[in-house]
Amino acid sequence: MAQVVVITGRTCNGKTQLARRLGEEFGFSILDTSEILKQQAKARSVPQDRLSLQSLGDKLDGETNHKWVFDATERAIESGDIHFPIVIDNIRNAEQLAYFRQHSDWKLTHVHLYAPDDVLAERFQKRLQTRNQPEAAKNFKEADLIKQERDIESFKADADVRIFTKRTDSEDTLVRVAAHLGLFAPPQIRSVDVLVGGQFGSEGKGHVAAYLAKEYQVLVRVGGPNAGHTVSGKKGVYTYHHLPSGCQDTSAEVLLGAGTTIYLPGLLKEIDDCGLDEARLFIDPQAIIITEEDRKQEAKLKDGIASTGSGSGYASARRITERLPNQTKLAKDMPELAAYVGSAPPYRGSTIYRLERAYREGKSILLEGTQGSGLSIFHGVYPYVTSRDTNVAGCLAEAGISPSRVRRVLMVVRPTPIRVQDPPGGTSGPLKHQTTFDIVAKEAGLNATDVSQAEKTSTTGRDRRVGWFDWELFRRSCALNAPTDLILTFADYLHVENQRARRFEQLSPDTIKFIEELERVSQAPVSLINIRFPRTEEERLDMRTIIDRRKWWVGNRALLDQ
């Protein structure tokens, strides 16, 4: 049924702000009765100050038997000037309201705002002081459109929602009204799928995320430029450091969560490379900015634990140690990001607001984590860890997503986990069952030179160390993330013939046995299998590099797949 909200109340109760926020946050069309009066005043050559418009309203009430607001609403609907849901700001007497109550095809909600007269009078005086143009009315009583106390009593008795505004601001009022209207998504709506790594990063998450991204309406990224996700797409091979993988090949909305660390020159370049604009990209105002000093300080860790030196860790540390006003720069403080963040609360880039809207609109959401479970600052082998929790819980916290919104957890693993090469005089951390890429290539039947050339880190270009599959690490990652689905990448590292597989049964027998063991240990299905990564231009054009065994869907059907 068509939803119509009418707002009543004395002046300075926040009626106009409520109507505006319903329009901005929930897509309501606004019918402003003062604008109707101004149009009438112009047609009749009547002054447009507040008192003159009040007199014109009284005259229209007499001419139409109080029906002029209702008639204007119907005309606007018929002409297409407004669409449902509609909010009407404002109704000033019981007779005007009665016409709306009599329309049986509309689901009418009457919101009445009220406060003591002395509070409203004080607000009116403050408004006079802040407005540039003089107000014709000298005081609150003159300015108020509701002249009859019987109308106030009638509104109090009739209202579906009645809010005392003495102790609320416009945000409080909006929340309470929206709740009454059922505009918030219920907790049981689960529309978020989370993609995380199950080892030490470089599991191929970017390639998988880009494959899946085309199916989702909202893409969310957390982490920072210390992680690079290399993707082969329509425009060639590209490495994402800030933005979600594959976003340049989709039309999805793109969100960067509050936990993101941003290196401004790098992010601006990515935005330009991917052709994003403010219509698609939303950056949370509380994402922290990496400074050149952060990068300089973190460079000292390169020789100790093989840090990327991106500055992400030092920026995250400053977020805790420098909690003084105006000391630490966030995304909201950077003029270059204003188009994507907004310039004032509630900020257009707030991921909480964007996600709330996505939940209630039934949009599908993909949250892309970075690095891997074994690098978690809390659950990895300290100090050979990154600066954040890389598991699903950490990713959700950085994005501002409740665990109850999660539908599926997708964990990516490779048959040969890697760590970055040990720095001179130090180590990047333990790697169980360490071997070499030459041996891996030889056992799989691959070209050793091709493998070695491909196995360099996306962010720093360093060589990698490699080991055979670590079942203990895998089970630990399963315990931390409880994946609903596994994704196996680098299947050709098990056997070269897997590169030609197009169906599960075409994989080598040992690969199928390996997959069965993954499923047994994790108690989750291997739903996607990456058979190889494109390394040449010819291979890039062949997009069939993933065997898709999923038994679930993305999109609005996702909400039914509980």
pLDDT greater at residue 306 or residue 312: 312
pLDDT of residue 471: 98
Q: pLDDT for 465-495, tens place per residue?
A: 999 999 999 999 999 999 999 999 999 999 9
Query: Is the pLDDT score of 560 beyond 50?
Result: no
For the segment 425-438, the average pLDDT, to the nearest whole number, is 90
pLDDT band at residue 542 using 50, 70 and 90 as cut-offs: low
pLDDT tier for residue 348 given thresholds of 50, 70 and 90: very high
Q: Are 168 and 123 in contact (CB under 8 A)?
A: no
Could you tell me what percent of the chain has a pLDDT over 70? 93
The lowest-confidence range among 125-129, 153-157, 164-168 is 125-129
Helix, strand, coil share of the chain (percent; to 5):
45, 15, 40
Does residue 30 contact residue 113 with C-beta atoms inside 8 Å? no
Specify the DSSP element, H or E, that contains 19.
Answer: helix 15-26
Mean residue pLDDT across the chain: 90
CATH topology of domain 2-181: Rossmann fold (3.40.50)
What is the 3-class SS of 231-262, one letter each residue?
A: EEECCEEEEECCCCCCHHHCCCEEEECCCCEE
| CA pair distance 99, 92, nearest whole angstrom | 13
Instruction: Answer for the pair 390, 464: CB distance below 8 angstroms, yes or no.
Output: no
Q: How far apart are CA 466 and CA 554, in angstroms?
A: 34
542 burial (CB, 10 Å; 0-12 / 13-18 / 19+) is exposed
Strand order in the sheet with 464-467: 418-420, 464-467, 434-435
pLDDT digits (tens, 9 = 90+) for 259-271: 999 999 999 999 9
The C-alpha atoms of residue 480 and residue 187 are separated, in whole angstroms, by: 23
Is pLDDT larger for residue 183 or for residue 296? 183
Distance CA(64)–CA(73), nearest Å, equals: 14
Q: What is the DSSP letter of 332?
A: G
pLDDT at 559: 43
Question: What does the domain layout of the chain look like in residue ranges?
Answer: 2-181, 192-560
CATH superfamily of 192-560: Adenylosuccinate Synthetase, subunit A, domain 1 (3.40.440.10)
Please give the Cα distance from 240 to 136 (Å, whole number): 58
pLDDT band at residue 561 under the 50/70/90 scheme: very low
**Alpha-carbon gap, residue 559 to 284, rounded angstroms:** 26
Average confidence (pLDDT) over 495-520: 97
DSSP string, 471-524: HHHHHHHHHHH--SEEEE--GGGT-GGGGG--SGGGS-HHHHHHHHHHHHHHTS
Is pLDDT at 191 greater than 60 in this prediction?
Answer: yes
pLDDT average, residue stretch 113-141? 80
Average pLDDT for residues 448-453, to the nearest whole number? 88
Give the pLDDT of residue 457. Answer: 59
Threshold 0.85, pTM exceeds:
yes
Residue 351 amino acid letter: T
